[in-house]
Amino acid sequence: MSTPFHLHNKVILVTGASSGIGKQIAISANEMGADVIITGRSKERLEETFKSLKKGNNGQLIADLQNQEELNQLVESLPELDGIVHCAGIVKPFPIKFLTQEKITETFDVNYSIQLLLMAQISRKKKLKKNASIVFSSSISAAHPHKGGALYSGSKAALESFSKVIVLEFSYLKVRSNCIASAMVKTPMYEYAQQQGTKEQMDEHVNKYPLGVGLPEDVSNAAVFLLSDASRWMTGQTITLDGGFLLGDF
Ligand X SMILES: NC(=O)c1ccc[n+]([C@@H]2O[C@H](COP(=O)([O-])OP(=O)(O)OC[C@H]3O[C@@H](n4cnc5c(N)ncnc54)[C@H](OP(=O)(O)O)[C@@H]3O)[C@@H](O)[C@H]2O)c1
The residues binding ligand X (CB under 6 A) are 16, 18-22, 40-42, 45, 64-66, 87-91, 110, 137, 139, 182, 184-185, 187-190
Shortest Cβ distance from residue 91 to ligand X (Å)?
A: 6
Shortest Cβ distance from residue 9 to ligand X (Å)?
A: 26
Shortest Cβ distance from residue 25 to ligand X (Å)?
A: 9
Which of 21/122 has CB closer to ligand X? 21
Shortest Cβ distance from residue 148 to ligand X (Å)?
A: 15
Distance of CA 9 to the CA centre of its chain: 22
Shortest Cβ distance from residue 222 to ligand X (Å)?
A: 12
Which of 68/171 has CB closer to ligand X? 68
C-alpha distances (whole Å) from 32 to each of 10, 28, 97, 108, 126 are 10, 6, 46, 32, 26
| DSSP 8-state class, residue 159 | H
Which of 173/202 has CB closer to ligand X? 202
Question: Which residues, at least 6 apart from 116, have a Cβ–Cβ distance to it below 8 Å?
Answer: 162
DSSP string, 15-61: SSTTSHHHHHHHHHHHHTT-EEEEEES-HHHHHHHHHH--SSS-EEE
The contacts found for 103-108 with CB under 8 angstroms, 24 or more apart, are 103/151, 104/151, 107/151, 107/152, 107/155, 108/151, 108/154, 108/155, 108/158
What is the spatial distance between Cα 115 and Cα 161, in angstroms, rounded to a whole number?
12
Beta bridge partners of 13: 37, 84
CA torsion sign, 118 to 242 to 184 to 224?
A: negative
Which of 65/175 has CB closer to ligand X? 65
Shortest Cβ distance from residue 216 to ligand X (Å)?
A: 7
Shortest Cβ distance from residue 152 to ligand X (Å)?
A: 7
Which of 167/189 has CB closer to ligand X? 189
Which of 131/194 has CB closer to ligand X? 194
C-alpha distances (whole Å) from 8 to each of 29, 36, 250 are 9, 11, 41
Which of 8/120 has CB closer to ligand X? 120
